[in-house]
């Protein structure tokens, strides 16, 4: 029972931090109709920026939290520049060009990361406030991972609140439906795009920064996370935020079950789930049937 509890919490914390990244990907796709291949690289860059900030500020006295905030800001600014100067020029073109452009960003940013921080594995220590284990009734569990569960849950609720209860949320929902009508109603659509792309990137950066103490920073982690995000949105349904939520939680659990029963090959279970969804419900668990 104790072991099962720990496995369950491992899966939950992994799934919820995956959701942070997949949510940004899904929102950007919903509004801009751009599939952002660079989203995993934004996540990775968030982790490295946090590493850099922590190594300058130290972990004590809230240094870690400043680092997380810095990651979010850096990524938001970078994404805003990319959207404003380059991506914006491609909206009118065929979707192939947008795909290839975000893919070029993956190559470029991950190589810049390699140039700045090298290829050795880096890691951040747990912030002092969250070290040690917490008694959760059935077992002792690392405080930091519990904290990740809380953040993931809070972000999910926060996104729901913004989307359903604020003016910005209404505009974003409208933009996913019909951008031309939205523009005709006097909304500055290019600015909506800029804000959504930038906010999605910030979410990925914060996700990367928060995940950094729980895992290692190394080259190639961007490919790993973007593939998992794609699997999340395929399982949940492309463009569906709650689909992404459910997909991320399922993958988290499946991975932790897989680590127990088929260590080393746990990723195969995740693919099997995806294949099953594609065969029986190709548009995803919560997705809408699109086109033909």
Partner 1 sequence: MPRRHLLLAAAVVALLALLPLSGSTYLLYLFTQVLIFVLFATSLNLLIGYAGLVSFGHAAFFAIGGYGCAILLRSYGVPLLLAMPAALVMTAVFATLIGALCVRLTSYYFSMLTLAFGQLVWAVVFKWRSMTGGDDGFLRIVSPSWIDTPASFFLFTLVLVTLAMVALWIVAHSPLGRTLMAIRENQVRAGFLGVHTRRVQLVAFIIAGTFAGLAGALFALFNRSIFPDSAWWLQSAEVLIMVVLGGMNSFFGPAVGALTLILLGRLTLELTAFWPALLAIILIATLFFFPSGIAGLLKARGRR
Give the footprint of partner 1 on residues 209-238 (CB under 8 A). Answer: 223-224, 226-227, 230-231, 233-234, 238
Shortest distance, CB of residue 15 to partner 1, whole angstroms? 18
The smaller minimum CB distance to partner 1, of residues 141 and 193, is found at 193
Burial class (CB in 10 A: 0-12, 13-18, 19+), 288: exposed
Is 107 a binding residue for partner 1 by CB under 8 A? The answer is yes
Measured distance CA(131)–CA(141) in Å, rounded: 11
The smaller minimum CB distance to partner 1, of residues 104 and 181, is found at 104
Q: What does the DSSP assignment read for 18-56?
A: HHHHHHHHHHHHHHH----TTHHHHHHHHHHHHHHHHHH
Shortest distance, CB of residue 143 to partner 1, whole angstroms? 32
Is 100 a binding residue for partner 1 by CB under 8 A? The answer is yes
The smaller minimum CB distance to partner 1, of residues 104 and 136, is found at 104
Cα–Cα distances (Å) from 123 to 49, 55, 130, 136, 208, in that order, read 12, 10, 16, 27, 12
Is 149 a binding residue for partner 1 by CB under 8 A? The answer is no
Give the footprint of partner 1 on residues 156-185 (CB under 8 A). Answer: none
Give the footprint of partner 1 on residues 77-96 (CB under 8 A). Answer: 86, 89-90, 93-96
Tokens of 264: 């080393």
Q: Which stretch binds partner 1 (CB under 8 A): 118-126, 165-173, 196-204, 266-274?
A: 266-274
Cβ contact 122:218 at 8 Å: yes
Q: Which stretch binds partner 1 (CB under 8 A): 13-21, 47-55, 170-178, 262-270?
A: 262-270
Size of the site for partner 1 (CB under 8 A): 47
The smaller minimum CB distance to partner 1, of residues 257 and 267, is found at 267
Phi, psi of 119 (to 5 degrees): -105, -5
Is 110 a binding residue for partner 1 by CB under 8 A? The answer is yes
Please identify which residue in 57, 99, 122, 259 interacts with partner 1, judged by CB under 8 A: 99
- What is the Cβ-side half-sphere exposure of residue 10, based on CA atoms within 13 angstroms? 16
The smaller minimum CB distance to partner 1, of residues 65 and 91, is found at 91
Beta pairing partners, 134? 141
Sign of CA dihedral 156, 199, 162, 67: positive
Any idea what the Cα angle at residue 9 is, between residues 38 and 46, rounded to 5°? 25
Measured distance CA(88)–CA(72) in Å, rounded: 22
Please identify which residue in 37, 42, 64, 193 interacts with partner 1, judged by CB under 8 A: 37
Sign of CA dihedral 48, 235, 197, 171: negative
The smaller minimum CB distance to partner 1, of residues 142 and 284, is found at 284
Shortest distance, CB of residue 290 to partner 1, whole angstroms? 6
The smaller minimum CB distance to partner 1, of residues 181 and 262, is found at 262
Residue ranges binding partner 1 (CB under 8 A): 29, 35, 37, 86, 89-90, 93-97, 99-101, 103-108, 110-112, 115, 223-224, 226-227, 230-231, 233-234, 238, 264-265, 267-268, 271, 274-275, 278-279, 282-283, 290-292
């Amino acid at each position: 029972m104790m072991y099962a509890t720990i496995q369950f919490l491992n899966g939950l914390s992994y799934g919820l931090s995956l959701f942070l990244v997949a949510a940004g990907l899904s929102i950007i796709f919903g509004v801009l109709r751009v599939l952002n291949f660079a989203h995993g690289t934004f996540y990775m860059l968030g982790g490295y920026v946090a590493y850099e900030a922590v190594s300058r500020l130290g972990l004590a006295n809230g240094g870690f939290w400043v680092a997380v905030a810095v990651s979010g800001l850096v990524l938001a600014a970078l994404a805003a520049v990319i959207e404003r100067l380059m991506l914006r020029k491609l909206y009118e073109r065929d979707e192939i060009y947008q795909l290839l452009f975000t893919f070029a960003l993956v190559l470029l940013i991950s190589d810049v990361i390699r140039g700045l921080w090298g290829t050795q594995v880096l890691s951040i220590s747990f912030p002092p406030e969250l070290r040690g284990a917490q008694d959760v009734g059935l077992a002792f569990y690392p405080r930091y991972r519990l904290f990740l569960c809380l953040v993931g849950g809070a972000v999910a609720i926060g996104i729901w609140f913004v989307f359903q209860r604020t003016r910005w949320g209404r505009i974003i929902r409208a933009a996913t439906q019909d951008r031309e009508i939205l523009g005709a109603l006097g909304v500055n659509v290019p600015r909506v795009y800029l804000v959504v792309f930038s906010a999605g990137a910030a979410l990925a950066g914060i996700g990367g920064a928060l995940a950094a103490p729980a895992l290692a920073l190394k080259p190639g982690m961007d490919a790993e996370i973007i593939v998992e995000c794609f699997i999340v949105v395929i399982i949940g349904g492309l463009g569906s935020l709650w689909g992404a939520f459910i997909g991320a939680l399922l993958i988290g659990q499946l991975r932790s079950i897989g680590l127990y029963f088929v260590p080393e090959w746990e990723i195969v279970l995740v693919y099997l789930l995806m294949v099953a969804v594609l065969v029986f419900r190709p548009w995803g668990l919560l997705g809408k049937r699109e086109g033909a």
